[in-house]
Each structure stands twice: as structure tokens, then as C-alpha cells.
Structure 1
Amino acid sequence: MYNVDLHAHTRFFHGRDELGDRFDPLGVRLLAAAADRRGLDGVATTNHDYYTPLEPPGPIETLPGIEITTDRGHVLVVGPDPPAATKPGALTPDEAVGLAHDRDCAAIVAHPFRNSTVRELEDVPFDAIEINGKHPRSRPLVEELAESRGLPLVGGSDAHYPFEVGRAYTVVDADRLTPTAVVEAIRDGRVGARVASSGVDRLLRRGYRTIHRRKRVIDALERPSPGVGSPPGEES
């Protein structure tokens, strides 16, 4: 059994690609160090719409991945050969899943109740659905969705800062912790989602709820028309 955070980022900012490329080697070291302190065995680097091979020293396995921005929301792709880059909004969820499967990777619905309508697509062959560490209160909704689709649950922190790593993670039943073994375990249903419940984790979640409530007010003021926003059930 291995404990793996399947959704983490090596940088805490978007854009500024040149700066980010220089930061990523440090970012993955920080992720790995935080994962080690959490008692995890591995962490997937799922940066937004790009993948760069990064190998930190130490005992933590880093798994290749990418978070693809489709025209309906985000799809996590984890496995031995994720695409190097995707154009935000250019792919449909079905195309993202096809790309993942063509490259022997697993395709996971990321944070299905936050800024996403991917969950509404019943005929797309996803491999799993994520319980996201930012908003674990949506777990009952995610569990119901996964049961209705016959898909396993995985956990990911969605960390953009190293201290967020491991607030949700995946238990992987495999003999070895390799990208291929993780993909096989996901497809066989030999995975389970876990949510950390330490005092620090609870404090972090209360902070995020406050931030997101304020964001929602600001967004509402800036939107020119009503009816546009996050789906019900989870903060944006």
C-alpha cells in the first residue's frame, strides 16, 4: 500500500512562464519535502496545461501528470507519459480522456463540483473521480457521483503551496510505486480517497472558506449578468 497525493502543483502562481520554469525545480523539491513530512510515499506533479519531468532527490516518488483545462473544466492526467503541453480550453473532456488513454495514463475528473461541468458528461470514459483537498465538504456529492458512474475515488490536495500537500491523498494498492502501477490500480479500483483531519488541516479549510466567500462577492459584483458562476455545492 502506498499513500500518494495525486494533485499538486510546483508553483503557486499562474502565467509568468519564464519565471515559473526556473522555479519548478525548487518547487518539486519543496513538494517532495512536504510530502515526506506528511508521511506520504509519492506526489503527482499536475501543473496547469504543461508537464516537465522533475526528479527531486530523496525517498518521495514523483509521478508524471498534468491538469488539462478543457472547455468544461479540469481533467487530471496521471501516468508514465502525459502530454508535454495543452492549450487551455482547446480540448473537450472526451478529447482529454482520449489523449490520456493514448499515452497510457489515467484520466480523473478534478474537483467535480468547483468551476466544472465535466461531471455532467455520462458517456466520457473517465477512470476515477477526485475528492479535492480544498473542499472536502463536497465528499458526499462526489461519492454519490462516483457510485452512479461506477468509478473509484481518488484524493488530491490541489496544493499550490507546499504546506498544502497531503490534505487529501490516495491509498494505492500496488506492489511497486510506479506511474504504470498507479494507472493500473486506478483502473482496477484498487485505490481509495483519504482526507487529512489534523488541526492544521481544519484551520486551512476554514481559511479557504473565508477567502472563497469573499471571492464570490467580488465575482458577483464584477459579473455583468446573473446566473454565471460555480455550480452549487462547493466554493469557487
Structure 2
Amino acid sequence: MGFLACRAELHSHSRASDGKPTPEEVVIRAAQLGLSAVALSDHNTFRGSALAQASAKELDLDITIIPANEVRTSRGDVLVLCPSLPDEDPPKGIEPPELRKWSLERGCIMIAAHPFQPGRKGVGRYLFSHYTEFDAVEVWNARGLPPLNWLAERFARSKGLPMTSGSDAHVISELGEAPTVVFAEGCTAEQIIEAIKKGMCRPTKGRMGFKALREAVEWSVGRRLGRAY
């Protein structure tokens, strides 16, 4: 059987945590962009993914929703991608080895998010000595500094770890700026996750455009000032 090249947005956010768009808006935009799949990885919750799945079904959109959660562990942020919606969220502040156990029990994978970006709360140096706890490394984050993305890529290559990319979108215009190309038998959540575990994926290296940057700054400032959107 041949493989499909699934273009998957593996890192995005909605109003279920600190993003501007609703889960429904994320799903619609992902479908408009022609993405095969989108992981709505809201901070410390799978709620955004659940709402996104419901929206995709209601709107009859041909796109896979990968249940995801950007978990704030005791060592930093970790993307958890699952084949189906888990029965619970992992606790905020969980130790990475415990999150590893939690993930394995549910068939999920762990990806080190923006590991070396300053101020982004990545796992950083912890990854150097504990890389075996992770299934992949996000080597290109569209919001990240390129030299530190390259550092993540060099490290992942040196350890033979699968490499992913993501937009880390918090506003709709960021979505799909750096999808991961996953080579799988199909573009279901389970097939994409299995392919990533095997290293059958390739990061892309898009950057935030001016419109996305302006919108993201306005959203971030507005949230901090308590403005309604």
C-alpha cells in the first residue's frame, strides 16, 4: 500500500485556552487551507479538541481532528497527541515520566514543544538527558527564533528523534504556517500518530507573516488589558 502525504497542523490554540478563534473557526479555516488534519492543542485541556471534533462532524468537513493538549509539565510544555479523546486531562505540573506513563496507557505521543525558545516555557536542557521520554521534537515553531529552531533540529537529528513543526497559532491568520508533512497509509488521527512515532514525517519551515504578527500582538495586548473580543 502506498503512503499519503498528510499536511497536519500539530500545534494550535483556541478560546478553550488562550487563543482568539473558537474551535469551530479553527476547523473551518483548516479545511479552507486544505490541511489534512489539525491538532487543537489548547493549554492543559482537551476541551478545544472535543469542540473541534463536534464542529467538524456538524459541518461535515473533510478534515481530521487530532485530540491534543499542550501540557505544562514540571519541566515545561509538552504537546500530547492522542488517537481519540482521552477520558481525562493530565494534571498541570505533572512530571514528564508520569506524563509518559499517562500517554502510553492511552496510545498518545509526546512532542517537546519549542524546547529551546526563551520565554516560551519549553523543556529546555531537560531534553538533553531525558530525550527518550519523548516521541518527537518540534524542531520548527513558526513563532520561534530561527537559530533556536535550528538548534532543536540539530539535537533531534543527533538523537534520531522524529521531527515536527507547527504554527503555534493563537490567531486564525497564523494557522497552517508550518504544517508537518506526515507520510501515512491514511490521514486519521491514529495513522498520523503511528507515522510520527516511526519518524515518517517532515517539518516545514514557515514563519509568521506581518498580518499574523499584528493580529497576534493585538490579541495578546487586548487579553492582558482585559478587553472583550
The answer to whether the superposition gives a TM-score over 0.5 is yes
Task: Tell me if 1:134 matches 2:143.
Answer: yes
1:170 pairs with one of 180, 192, 198: 180
Aligned equivalents of 1:70 and 1:151: distance in 2? 20
Aligned equivalents of 1:27 and 1:181: distance in 2? 26
Task: Tell me if 1:70 matches 2:73.
Answer: yes
Contact kept in structure 1, 2:114 and 2:149, CA below 8 Å? no
Q: CA deviation at 1:43?
A: 0.4
Contact kept in structure 2, 1:171 and 1:192, CA below 8 Å? yes
1:189 pairs with one of 196, 199, 209: 199
What is the one-letter code of the residue matched to 1:34?
R
Aligned equivalents of 2:215 and 2:191: distance in 1? 33
Contact kept in structure 1, 2:171 and 2:215, CA below 8 Å? no
Contact kept in structure 1, 2:66 and 2:84, CA below 8 Å? no
Task: Tell me if 1:156 matches 2:166.
Answer: yes
Task: Tell me if 1:31 matches 2:34.
Answer: no
What is the one-letter code of the residue matched to 1:166?
G
26-35 or 117-126, which deviates more:
117-126
Structure 1 residues 205 and 28: alpha-carbon distance in aligned structure 2, compared to 1, 3 A threshold: closer
Aligned equivalents of 1:155 and 1:73: distance in 2? 18
Per-residue CA deviations over 1:29-83 (Å, capped at 9, x if unaligned) read 2112221232311101111111132322212221111111101101111122454
Aligned equivalents of 2:151 and 2:216: distance in 1? 18
2:64 pairs with one of 42, 61, 66: 61
Match of 1:203 in 2: 210
What is the one-letter code of the residue matched to 2:210?
L
Aligned equivalents of 1:59 and 1:49: distance in 2? 27
Match of 1:125 in 2: 133
TM-score of the aligned structures, taking structure 1 as reference length: 0.75
The unaligned stretches of length 5 or more in structure 2 are 219-229
Aligned equivalents of 1:61 and 1:162: distance in 2? 18
What is the one-letter code of the residue matched to 1:88?
K
Give SS of 1:171's match.
Answer: strand
Q: CA deviation at 1:196?
A: 2.7
The unaligned stretches of length 5 or more in structure 1 are 15-19, 212-236
Q: CA deviation at 1:187?
A: 1.1
Aligned equivalents of 1:66 and 1:122: distance in 2? 21
Q: CA deviation at 1:207?
A: 5.4
Structure 1 residues 205 and 120: alpha-carbon distance in aligned structure 2, compared to 1, 3 A threshold: farther
Quote the sequence identity (%): 31
